[in-house]
Amino acid sequence: MPIARPAAPVVIDAVELRVLHLPLVSPFTTSFGTETVREVIILRVRTPDGDGWGEIVTQHAPRYSSEYTQGAWDVTQRFLVPALWDAASIAGGSLAPEGVAGALRPFVGHRMAKAGLELAVLDAALRAERRALGEYLGAGTDRVASGVSVGIQRDPAALVDTVGDYLDQGYVRIKIKIKPGRDVADTAAVRDAYGAIPLQVDANSAYTLSDADTLAELDRFDLLLIEQPLQEDDIVDHATLAARLRTPVCLDESIVSAKAAADALALRAASIINIKAGRVGGYLEAVRIHDLCRAAGVPVWCGGMLETGIGRAANAALAALPGFTLPGDVSASDRFYARDIVTAPMVLEDGYVRVPTGPGIGVEIDPVALDDATVARVELRP
């Protein structure tokens, strides 16, 4: 459902941006590359009533999508934050979180940057009202089923070991990354080792329609879904592929807005949708995609971008909406980080993570951990 009760406007005194480098507990390999350090932007919106926090989930290089950290760093300072100053000044000095997307709309793309800024304003506004983000977005539960995204390993045997560790920890769904040459054998190895576990694969756009025969071989593994087999703008080819596969096709990279989601469903390019607030320009747009999928009877699940405790808390709130009927990539903080930047990193409890109930995103920042991870910092004022 649309946001039931909007948040009160806030006065923004300043916006602080930081680039963080957070070491990963193990390298994370996808079809588009390997990461060993998470480079991410953290935003702090300063208001007379306190701070709000947001996260821009870009990665170092534009490989998952066209956005990347230095691009987001530039566009946020050069265009997005000044547009917020203008919007607030036109509105008499304050800005409601629901007005952020409209203020930023003149700028094309850069959805992750916009999403991070909107989250920081939303967090500030909700903290001031002592309302939880989950309640604001329409969460229907206090905990969400936790799946884990497993990167491509050295070989199928190593993958089986890694997956076994996550199953031992209690993750209720396994997603393995695939790419050409590392697909059927990897999936078979996990199925053979662990039987009928909830299992899905993510190709991160690594295939073309000419690979349809290989992808059809995955049908025999009874996967929950195959995520984003083809390129971001291959909507028609995804529809053609979906008609050939028994495995449900789920879109990630292609779904950049509620409009893109509606179009993909109309064309039958996907029967399941991965929702990431960063990819779609914010948590409010994410709720709109949830709402339209729910109305259409299309299952959705919450994707992840190796978030810090800030984005992870917000993702848990989003994943608690009633249409999120499949487990999300909302894993415990220690799946990626030895040291998070929040005081109470997200933990796995019987295969679930808790939806924070404190004001705003519901987590507190660890200022020392934040400073230790910071490699660049700037503060902007009107």
Residue whose C-alpha is closest to residue 132's, from 358, 323, 347, 292: 358
| Residue 306 touches which of Mg ion, ligand OSB, none (Cβ within 5-8 Å per kind) | ligand OSB
Q: Is 276 a catalytic residue?
A: yes
Query: Binding to Mg ion by residue 307, rule CB under 5 A?
Result: no
Q: In sequence order, which ranges of the chain are alpha helices (DSSP H)?
A: 69-75, 81-90, 100-104, 111-129, 133-137, 156-169, 184-194, 212-217, 235-244, 258-266, 277-280, 283-296, 309-319, 367-373
Q: Per the residue annotation, which of 114, 175, 179, 276 is the catalytic one? A: 276
* Range in contact with Mg ion (rule: CB under 5 A) among 24-32, 168-176, 248-256, 282-290: 248-256
Q: Is 259 a catalytic residue?
A: no
**Contact pick of 118, 123, 202, 237 for Mg ion (by CB under 5 A):** 202
Question: Minimum Å distance from CB 65 to ligand OSB?
Answer: 9
Closest to Mg ion by CB, 39 or 202: 202
78's CB contacts (< 8 A; 6+ apart) are none
Closest to ligand OSB by CB, 168 or 213: 168
Closest to Mg ion by CB, 118 or 202: 202
| Residue 329 touches which of ligand OSB, Mg ion, none (Cβ within 5-8 Å per kind) | ligand OSB
Given the rule CB under 6 A, which residues bind ligand OSB?
64, 149, 202, 204, 252, 303-306, 329, 331
CB-based contact 190:176 (threshold 8 Å): yes
Query: Binding to Mg ion by residue 252, rule CB under 5 A?
Result: yes
Rounded distance between C-alpha atoms, residue 310 and residue 365, angstroms: 8
Closest to ligand OSB by CB, 178 or 373: 178
Closest to Mg ion by CB, 73 or 324: 324
Residue 252: helix, strand or coil by DSSP? coil
* Range in contact with Mg ion (rule: CB under 5 A) among 128-136, 225-233, 282-290, 342-350: 225-233
* C-alpha Rg value of the chain to the nearest Å: 20
Output the DSSP codes for 321-372.
STTB-S-BS---GGGTBSS-SBSS----BTTEEEPP-SSBTS--B-HHHHHH
Beta strands in 5-60 (DSSP E): 14-30, 33-47, 50-56
State phi, psi for 113 to the nearest 5 degrees.
-65, -45
Q: Per the residue annotation, which of 114, 175, 177, 179 is the catalytic one? A: 177
Question: Minimum Å distance from CB 285 to ligand OSB?
Answer: 17
Q: Which residues of this chain interact with Mg ion, rule CB under 5 A? A: 202, 227, 252
Q: Which residues are catalytic?
A: 177, 276
